[in-house]
Structures are given as C-alpha cells and as structure tokens.
Amino acid sequence: PNPVHDVLFIEAPVFVAHVTLTSATGQQILEVFPVQSRQVTLDFRTLPKGIYLLGVILEHSKERRVIQKIIRN
C-alpha cells in the first residue's frame, strides 16, 4: 500500500533484477541486487517520513523498468 508505514512488499509477474530507493532530493537510500525473486520486502521503519522514488528493474519483461513514487507516513 501507498503510503508505507513500516514495510513495503513488492510482487512482480517476473523476476526482479534490481531495486533502488531514492530520496526526493536524489540521494540513493537503498540498492538491492541481484534480487532473483518475484517478491521483495523493503523495511521502511528506519527511514524518515517523506517522499521516495522506488525503481524496480524486471527481468525478461516488456516494461523492464518501473518507477513509483512512495510516501513514507
């Protein structure tokens, strides 16, 4: 769900290759690779409230890169 309170769960129809989380100011907060799974869990409990950009790169998919705005409440 968006906004996120504690934990963000990502489920994809294909394997996730790479995940990044960037602050609204452009600072990279988190980078996870290689994931090699269809499910990813990100812990937001230590992050301050604010707006983040989540980048997900999928393997073997037409829409290979997905970027989503995430709000931490």
Please give the single-letter amino acid code of residue 21: L
Q: Are 14 and 39 in contact (CB under 8 A)?
A: no
DSSP 8-class letter at 48: P
Strands of 27-73 (E only): list them: 28-32, 37-43, 50-58, 65-72
Q: What is the pLDDT of residues 12-60, one digit of tens each?
A: 999 999 999 999 999 999 999 888 899 999 999 999 999 999 999 999 8
Given a cut of 70, whether residue 1 has pLDDT beyond it is no
pTM of the complete model: 0.87
Please give the single-letter amino acid code of residue 72: R
